[in-house]
Amino acid sequence: MRWSGRPGVALFLGVVLSFSGTPGSSSLDIPLEVLSHMNIEQLPTITAQSPNTMIAFPFDESYSMRCAAKGNPEPEFRWTKNGQEFDPDQDPRLLPPEDGSGTFIIPNNGNLSEFQGIYRCYASNKLGTAISEEIEFVVPHVPKFPKEKIDPIEVEEGQPVTLKCNPPKGIPPLQIYWMTIGLQHIEQDERVSIGLNGNLYFANALERDSRRDYCCFASFSRIRTIVQKTAMSLVVRNTGLKTDSAPGSGFANSILKSKPSLLSPPGVQTYTHLVKGQALMLECIAAGYPTPKVEWIRVGQGLPDRAIVENHGKVLHIPNVQQEDEGQYKCKAKNGHGEASHFFHVTVEEPPQWTTRPESQISMIGSDVLIKCVATGNPKPTISWRVNGLALNEVPAANRKVFDNKIILERANSSDSAVYQCEASNKHGTILANANIMIMNLPPVIVTEDSLQYSAVQGKTIVLHCKTFSSPPSVITWSKEDSADSVTGPRFFLHDNGSLEISAVEEGDMGEYSCIAKNREGSRAITAFLDIKEPTKIVDPPMDLRILVGTTAQFVCQAEFDRSFNHEMETYWLKDSVVIALNDTENMGYLVDDGILQIANVSYSDQGRYSCVVRSPVDQDIASAHLIVTDVPDAPEDLMLSELSGKSVKLKWIPGDDHNSSTTAFVIEFEESQREPGIWREAQRVPGSHTSALLKLHGHADYRFRVSGVNEVGQGRPSEPSESYKTPARAPDKNPENIKIEGHLPHEMDINWEPLAPIEHNGPGLEYKVSYRQQGTGDEDWQEHVVKRHSFIVKGTPTFVPYEIKIQARNHKGWAPEPRVIVGYSGEDFPSAAPDDVAVEVVNNTLVKVSWARVHKDKLHGRLGGYRVNWWRLRSLLASKKSHGEKHALTFPGDRSHALVPGLRPFSEYSLIVMAFNGRGNGPGSHPVTFRTPEGVPDQISVLRTMDIKKHSVSLSWSPPVEPNGVLTGYLLQYQLINDTEEVGPLVSVNVSDPDASKWLLPDLEAMSKYKFYLRACTRLGCGPATSEECATTPEATPTGTSSRNFSQTSTRSPPSTTVARKANTTLSSLGLASIHGGISTQGWFIGLMCAVALLTLILLIACFVNRNKGGKYSVKEKEDLHPDVESQGMNDDTFCEYSDNDEKPLKGSLHSTSGDMKPADSGDSLVDYGEEEAQFNEDGSFIGEYTGRKEKPSTENKANTQITA
């Protein structure tokens, strides 16, 4: 009950009773803690006994008749057998117990029948007697069929027959088998069946039923015994009158047709009684010809849902029968000649069961004691009472009043303490219960330990225990700290056993509590201490995972908890609510580290629900996640072919497990074992929701199919191949495709096509019929040729004439469908005319626009491919002699009348022709057209060198550019101080106005300084690209002509020569030191050393120079060979000058143009600069719109001109 909320209200606590688990007894157990405080006598209680029925199986060594009891004083035991006193100690054959109980042991010495009977155990001490339930000891005999001679049974065909078994009685369950002497089972069906009674029934006998060895076998599984009845002989006579109207046999007696009758059970109705929980088995076996069909109904209502019809409809089985299964059932057997029926009246009864079991109790002296005993059953049980094992009339008591189902002890005294027995019986059994009634007064004894420490989590529930034993019952009160008032409030609840439950614990609930138990005999108190802890909470729970089989899964679990439990926390994992034992060999794939669970090499068995449990001594938190393992689908199963039509087949299959990833498609593959055995090709794909597909088939093929599933993971393994299916031969279903018409020669037409695949032949003897005729000839007949290859050449055709062509396939079975007609052209010839009115318009000094008149289509003799422009340089306008220079060409596809020609040399005279081309080749060229390009800026100066290097001056010499591209007007010389630093000096410019100059002296230079010189050649249009040179002035005067350096033409974009620069720097450093320490140079040893160094350096440079010029590929050498310079000299070791290419990193502030009209070095134009032209491809895929390079190569022009792509 709950507290009323009023302070100081005491709650009464009843005495706590606990009962033993022994059937039929109820004990009053005084706690051991109470007994340790005082010696209290207790009534005896039966704690163990043998089962109600004991069967002495012959293979057991002994049989224990058990009886154990407890009490204070210790109880003594005695037995009765069949209601008579039985002393086991008086029979030397019986073995005494080893535990001091009332048990005795019956050994299996082969003579057990005299021990058969009903036993009962009595346990007594001075307070009373407890008795056990009855124990029946059954000694089974070995069942045997009687020895008998059974006469043969003779019947006419169509008559019913019953072979009776009459099995012997034995320990159930009993199983009947009918077999032959050779242990071959008699086959059962609607006509032949074994009844529940063991008989073998024939609804109508047939001649084939005749045999002499029908044997009935009875099996008693509990005693491991099978017995055999004497073999019986059955003779079925044939009357000789035959008809073919009988089912199941080609012939039968026409005169034996009969309406049904029941072989079992006899009569028209049966009354069946059975115990609740048993199986109801109703049987109807009918005779008649043809064999009757048996139907079952329940009169007034339908059959129960649990009802099962067995034995070919002859048995109605209702397992675990219940009260609602009572009623009237009917079986009806019928054939074409009538019907027979039988009624079953089913009554469900029950053995006795306790409704109110007599309870053991302690009552205080002077109180009234009620002992109640109520049992139910069908038929209604009879209640009988005993006290200490004796009938009530044998132990009279003035204060005892007995009623049907209760006893009242008025103003009970301690002498009324006894064991009362209540026994309930009906025809299905007997149940017995002992109730220990103790009349006594006891002061409170608190069994719960004093000063217990309790810990609770905020918001949770805690129970403080105060288990008390007393008589009369004690008043229990709880108080907190030093307050005398009881704790009250809706969160506090006092249980009947004295425990205080506090719900929704708060921090203010922490402290010391007192439990006080009080009755008229005294009082007792204990204390308890409550501590409040922070709750355990999982803050980072595991999350659901979908993971591929074979990979590693990882679950995270992190929690917060009370710090005082730092060393007492426990974290473990569950899989599907079962703890994962990490030290178990079955769980080797699991690894737990710092709240992280790893599952290596995940398999399908790892799929499930994983829970992380974080537990403290007072609470726990749990979080769960699901692991879903995915994989490719399993292979489909049970492939089946249906709807076979020769041209198609329907393939069905059962999908395999999709492993948690829905199947999106099925891939159907086929193998054609005649042509490509072992090779599987894809036939079709169907959506993943389909389990069948209609497949189109080729003729004359031997097919097998297999199916594989596809999901988001990938494609699964294929199924086992289907059965093979060979299609009949038939005419081809299709004609060749990808027909190509080509004309390699003027009077021929090549026809090629893609042949049918072998599987597309549909039969043997594949051929192709090639049909062609000129287009536009009206109804002219087709020219036809039958070939086996996949190409055909038509000869003697006019040049470039359209033809209609069709190709049809056929085999021995017939022709393919009518083919479609395509149009192609016969072979082309070279164009026979050149373009007229060729004109050239100069756009700039490197680009011209060429125009012409188109060639007439009649002169093309083919499909126009485009136009080709060839040009060559005749001379520079500075030279008077003409020469046929390298030929250049550009191809322009399509029908056009103009084009741009880039990449010309300025200030030059050119010649140009234009020609048309088709698929055969180029036509004749036009009349050459001569034109001139205007002046441009010069090329780079080929040679620049320094010489006569002094302390404050340097002389420069050079040779003119190879291609001036106009009339030279002079040179632009620029220089600046560099000194190997990032900062450079100002750029100084000098205009050399003499175009014939080849030398220049630069005075007023700084001593021991490094300079860089830039020289450009100029025309009226501007100056060309610069050639550069570096040099360092000397610390003292250098003899004239001893310090010079050749330089060949080098682009300013070329990489610098770091090796030479390093050498020059080193020389400068060395000379600088020599000038500082000039006295050393006067020493003889130093002069000799320097001469040796100079000589070695000179030899090394000469070797490098020779090696470098061996290949003839050094551009400087080529230019010098073409334009020799008489002033060129070898390189001296003592020079401070060096050359550098102009592709080095630009110096800060260097090489700025001094005039706004300075032109870039490259004056050539490319096709990219002119949006009018488009890059296209020839028919053979080659690039069109190209021109040749500038190497001097002879130009060869023929059917396939060699061109260099622009």
User: Both ends of the chain: CA-CA distance in Å?
Assistant: 106
pLDDT in tens, 408-433: 999 999 889 999 999 999 999 999 99
pLDDT 10s digits, 1151-1206: 343 333 433 333 333 333 333 333 333 333 333 333 333 333 333 333 333 232 32
Tell me what pLDDT residue 1199 has. Answer: 34
What is the DSSP secondary-structure string of 1080-1126?
Answer: GGGSHHHHHHHHHHHHHHHHHHHHHHHHHTSSS--HHHHHHHHS--T
Confidence class for position 1060, pLDDT limits 50, 70, 90? very low
Model confidence over 534-561: pLDDT tens digits? 999 999 999 999 999 999 999 999 999 9
- The residue ranking higher by pLDDT, 1124 or 314, is 314
Q: How far apart are CA 887 and CA 869, in angstroms?
A: 10
- Is the backbone peptide bond immediately before 265 cis, with ω within 30 degrees of 0? yes
pLDDT digits (tens, 9 = 90+) for 141-173: 889 999 888 999 999 999 999 999 999 998 889
Q: CB under 8 Å, gap of 24 or more: what pairs does 317-326 form?
A: 317/279, 317/280, 317/281, 318/279, 318/280, 319/279, 319/280, 320/277, 320/278, 320/279, 321/274, 321/276, 321/277, 321/278, 321/279, 321/280, 321/348, 322/276, 322/348, 323/276, 323/348, 323/350, 325/280
Closest by alpha carbon to 813, among 715, 729, 689?
729
Q: What is the DSSP string of 767-792?
A: EEEEEEEETT-TTPPPEEEEESSSEE
pLDDT of residue 121: 95
Looking at residue 892, its pLDDT comes to: 96
Q: What is the pLDDT of residue 1075?
A: 33
The structure tokens 């009234």 sit at: 368
pLDDT at 30: 64
Q: How far apart are CA 115 and CA 97, in angstroms?
A: 18
3-class secondary-structure state, position 1129? coil
Predicted pLDDT at 1122: 34
pLDDT surpasses 70 at 781: yes
CA distance 948 to 44: 141
User: 217-231, 553-567, 578-592, 688-702: which has the minimum mean pLDDT?
Assistant: 578-592
Half-sphere exposure (CA, 13 Å, Cβ side) for 193?
A: 23
Give the HSE-up count for residue 11: Cα atoms under 13 Å, Cβ half-sphere. Answer: 25
Model confidence pLDDT, tens digit, residues 330-377: 999 999 899 999 999 999 999 999 999 999 888 889 899 999 999 999
Q: How confident is the model at residue 880, as a pLDDT?
A: 82
Q: How far is CA 1071 from CA 353, 1010, 1011, 1036, 1062, in A?
A: 130, 14, 17, 10, 14
DSSP H or E run through 514: strand 511-519
**Token pair of 435, please?**
């109730």
Instruction: Enter the DSSP assignment of 919.
Output: S
What is the structure's pLDDT at 662? 95
